[in-house]
Amino acid sequence: MGKVELGKYVELAYEIFVVNDNDQTSVYKFTDEHPDRFVFGQDLGMIEAFVNHIGALSMGDTFDFTLAPEEAFGERNPEMVMSIPRSTFEIDGEFDNERVFVGSMVPMQTSEGYRIDGLVKAIDEDNVTLDFNHQLAGESVRYVGKVLLVRDATPEELAPKHHCGGGCDCGHDHSHGCDCDSCGGCN
């Protein structure tokens, strides 16, 4: 059995919980049928503490660890909450009520061309307030799972992949370790 190490193809099944005092809430789950798949060490966007906890595990090993906010998705940053002119969200002169409403996730693009998603917090007659903090920012996060597969990565898996800056419409939370290719591609 191979160990999880640099350049190995890895499949994990795990559940992510938000931990508050003695309570925890499941927020995401990778299953045996739909595991998290990646080449270990290739995705620089993976959380370092997550990488440190799964590195050197072997196929069949289980894991259960909790990361504090500063180790996981960081503390909430008030500077990541921004008001953007309402006109930015107009199509043919009309505000896009179908996609932009309080509670919706709106894809935006940074000045560097990376896609980021913002949670609509408020809408007034002049602005739309978006929160670009990660959904789990400020939270302690527990990972409970199992290493399903560890093998040598193929040349195709080791080839550079197109990364879409953390966004695709697959419904996965890409900040914990998967890339767009594991769910079928970017927009």
- Block mean pLDDT (10 aa), the chain, length 187: 90 96 94 96 89 95 97 95 96 94 94 92 97 95 97 88 46 42 40
CATH code given to domain 78-131: 2.40.10.330
Q: Residue ranges per domain, the chain?
A: 8-74+138-183, 78-131
Distance CA 177, CA 100 (A): 28
Contacts of 105 (CB under 8 A, 6+ apart): 117, 118, 119, 120
- pTM to 2 decimal places: 0.74
Exposed/middle/buried for 176, CB within 10 Å: 0-12, 13-18, 19+? Answer: buried
In this structure, CATH architecture of domain 8-74+138-183? Roll (3.10)
Which residues pair with residue 67 across a beta bridge? 141
Region for 120 from its dihedrals, namely left if φ exceeds 0, alpha if ψ lies in -120 to 50, beta otherwise: beta
What is the pLDDT, as a whole number, of residue 21? 86
DSSP secondary structure code for residue 153 in this structure: P
What is the pLDDT, as a whole number, of residue 162? 52
4 within 8 A of 40, measured Cβ to Cβ: yes
Contacts of 122 (CB under 8 A, 6+ apart): 102, 128, 129
Q: Which two tokens stand for residue 2?
A: 């191979």
What is the pLDDT, as a whole number, of residue 159? 85
Distance CA 124, CA 95 (A): 12
**Residue type, position 87, single letter:** S
**Residue type, position 169, single letter:** D
